[in-house]
Chains A and B, each alone.
Chain A
């Protein structure tokens, strides 16, 4: 089990612990079953006191081995060999107390517990090996092998390896889960530390920007650079958070994705608090459309011209508006474009929103241009 590393070993042992606890319950139940059946069919016993002795031995061993298996250190090969040995002994003593042509062995289903201990501890090969030995002994003892005996033997031979295989799979999954949890915790801690550092950097950049602008000249240029870096860093922080969430859920927080557009010069974005989760494809398309609108602002109003994006979230839809303070779109330009057979930017914007099942509305005039989109959730 050394291939897991120390925390992996812990996870694997935890799985084994749990399975051995379940096995302890099974062992007690099969013991009670054996006692009840032997008492009920006491007439089959040639030597009743011999039967009592075997059952007493089984009870003592059940108590001892249940205690022994509670600690992983004691689940050693000698202990498991002893466990199998006791089960075999109980089987082999059966003809002595029941006569050669017995029907059911004294331990009955109780031998299954030792078999499963091997399966849990040594996986499918342990389960198979123990099953072959115990089933072999059982069949070898019998003077006459019935259909039922064959059926039971068959079940044990299949059950041992299967339980072993499942135990192995559970351990592997536990180890993987453990590793995933650890890396998630480490990532969260890294993010927290980064946030502390980033906050300080943001403060300084904001200060440089402000002071620089006030001082003018070269300092103003420095200030502008600081301002750009501040925006970029803020965007980076947000996008890291968003990426983590997206990987986990397959949905995209539209509020977050739109807020990242603040990175563009002149663009201000207003979003509601919390997240506005949409299927990744829808959110990505909405952001792309908004970007197309902003590109349009840059082209027609001027590079870096102020523009505002507003996101509103409702139970059944989201509404996004993109506004600028420009001169508006001259009347007839839309019609002119489509008359010339050109699929204008405006039409493409409308088409993309329609494809999402939403509506797009354009208001334009001397006060500026405003797109309003409504997209169903």
Chain B
């Protein structure tokens, strides 16, 4: 993104979903002050889904604990409507399992609410650009999920379980240990961009696996009902 005066890029369109009015206003104000275009706000899942199609935001800043369809469901529906949109999860109480579910459903960023305003703005920019925003906590969750999927105790007939390359595991583990992309790049003698790509690949594989699982489930259900007819 260059800031050549005449070629001003379009501001990033953002939607803020949070049931807490003070929070919603604060985030909205911060985003507007930083030059983002807040195209919609919503206080619950129903509102979010109703307003999303018309507002067409590039980034949805989403609180996980909202009434109505919860954050995980909103993530799913929003990305079904517009696969090009990005979801950044903001969570106050750090409900770990919900965060993991939202990420599996396609969210590409996660931030705790106690993060600073600057961190939030940076996260929105990065998510809009297509990068993944990881906290060490999220990396630990994703890493744990891949470990779980690779356990031999699981159903051995399922061959489609995703696997991380050795490098991806190494990078993800370093993120989980709190190292910045820059530190990882130095330690592994890689470019910053390569580290970024490795991290993003891990998310992509997890989300892909989730979709495959859902499809498999749907097909099994579908075939069953065909048999009955």
Question: Given the interface contacts A270-B176, A310-B173, does A237 sit within 8 Å of B93 by beta carbon?
Answer: yes
Question: Given the interface contacts A308-B177, A308-B178, does A234 sit within 8 Å of B96 by beta carbon?
Answer: no
Chain B 148-176 near chain A by CB (<8 Å), digits 1 or 0: 10011100000000000000000001001
A271, B140: Cβ atoms under 8 Å? Answer: yes
Residue of A nearest to B137 (CB): A270
Q: What's the least CB distance linking B99 to chain A, in Å?
A: 8
Is B79's CB within 8 Å of the partner chain A?
no
B136, A310: Cβ atoms under 8 Å? Answer: yes
Is A314's CB within 8 Å of the partner chain B?
yes
Q: What's the least CB distance linking B118 to chain A, in Å?
A: 9
Interface residues of A in 43-101 (CB under 8 A from B): none
Which of A159-167, A168-176, A201-209 contacts the other chain?
A: A201-209
Q: Which 5 A-B pairs have the closest CB atoms?
A: A272-B144, A270-B140, A308-B178, A206-B113, A270-B176
A213, B116: Cβ atoms under 8 Å? Answer: yes
A206, B178: Cβ atoms under 8 Å? Answer: no
A272, B136: Cβ atoms under 8 Å? Answer: no
Is A16's CB within 8 Å of the partner chain B?
no
Q: What's the least CB distance linking A204 to chain B, in Å?
A: 7
A203, B92: Cβ atoms under 8 Å? Answer: yes
Is A274's CB within 8 Å of the partner chain B?
yes
22 interchain pairs, CB-CB under 8 A: A199-B65, A199-B92, A200-B20, A202-B93, A203-B22, A206-B112, A206-B113, A210-B113, A269-B140, A270-B137, A271-B96, A271-B144, A272-B145, A272-B147, A273-B96, A273-B145, A274-B97, A274-B144, A313-B147, A314-B147, A321-B177, A323-B179
Taking each of B92, B113, B152, B187, which has the highest tally of chain A beta carbons within 10 Å of its own beta carbon? B92
Interface residues of A in 215-256 (CB under 8 A from B): 227, 230, 234, 237
Interface residues of B in 112-156 (CB under 8 A from A): 112-117, 135-137, 139-141, 143-145, 147-148, 151-153
B178, A315: Cβ atoms under 8 Å? Answer: no
In the assembled complex, the Cα of A68 lies from the Cα of B217 at a distance in Å of 54
Is A312's CB within 8 Å of the partner chain B?
yes
In the assembled complex, the Cα of A104 lies from the Cα of B57 at a distance in Å of 93
Chain A 314-344 near chain B by CB (<8 Å), digits 1 or 0: 1100000101000000000000000000000
| Residues of chain B with a CB closer than 8 A to A198's CB | 93
Q: What's the least CB distance linking A274 to chain B, in Å?
A: 7
Residue of A nearest to B94 (CB): A234
| Residues of chain A with a CB closer than 8 A to B176's CB | 270, 308, 310
A204, B140: Cβ atoms under 8 Å? Answer: no
In the assembled complex, the Cα of A213 lies from the Cα of B120 at a distance in Å of 14
Of the four ranges (under 10, 10 to 19, 20 to 34, 35 or more), the interface on chain B belongs to 35 or more
Q: What's the least CB distance linking B16 to chain A, in Å?
A: 14
Majority-rule SS of A interface residues: mixed
Is A358's CB within 8 Å of the partner chain B?
no
Residue of A nearest to B141 (CB): A273
Residue of B nearest to A267 (CB): B178
B137, A269: Cβ atoms under 8 Å? Answer: yes
Q: What's the least CB distance linking A310 to chain B, in Å?
A: 5
Residues of chain A whose beta carbon lies under 8 Å from any beta carbon of chain B: 198-200, 202-204, 206-207, 209-211, 213-214, 227, 230, 234, 237, 268-274, 306-308, 310-315, 321, 323, 367, 370
In the assembled complex, the Cα of A269 lies from the Cα of B97 at a distance in Å of 15
| Residues of chain B with a CB closer than 8 A to A308's CB | 136, 176-178
Residues of chain B whose beta carbon lies under 8 Å from any beta carbon of chain A: 20, 22-23, 26, 65, 92-94, 96-97, 100, 112-117, 135-137, 139-141, 143-145, 147-148, 151-153, 173, 176-179, 183, 187
A272, B148: Cβ atoms under 8 Å? Answer: yes
Q: What's the least CB distance linking B93 to chain A, in Å?
A: 5
Q: What's the least CB distance linking A57 to chain B, in Å?
A: 57
A210, B178: Cβ atoms under 8 Å? Answer: no
B143, A272: Cβ atoms under 8 Å? Answer: yes
Q: What's the least CB distance linking B55 to chain A, in Å?
A: 24
Q: What's the least CB distance linking A191 to chain B, in Å?
A: 13
Question: Given the interface contacts A204-B22, A310-B140, does A367 sit within 8 Å of B187 by beta carbon?
Answer: yes
| Residues of chain B with a CB closer than 8 A to A370's CB | 177
Question: Given the interface contacts A227-B114, A271-B144, does A203 sit within 8 Å of B23 by beta carbon?
Answer: yes
| Residues of chain B with a CB closer than 8 A to A203's CB | 20, 22-23, 92, 113
B136, A268: Cβ atoms under 8 Å? Answer: yes
| Residues of chain B with a CB closer than 8 A to A315's CB | 151-153
In the assembled complex, the Cα of A200 lies from the Cα of B159 at a distance in Å of 44
| Residues of chain A with a CB closer than 8 A to B187's CB | 367
Residue of A nearest to B63 (CB): A203
Residue of A nearest to B148 (CB): A272
B137, A230: Cβ atoms under 8 Å? Answer: no
In the assembled complex, the Cα of A200 lies from the Cα of B177 at a distance in Å of 30
Q: What's the least CB distance linking B96 to chain A, in Å?
A: 6
| Residues of chain B with a CB closer than 8 A to A237's CB | 93
Residue of B nearest to A321 (CB): B177
Q: What's the least CB distance linking A235 to chain B, in Å?
A: 11
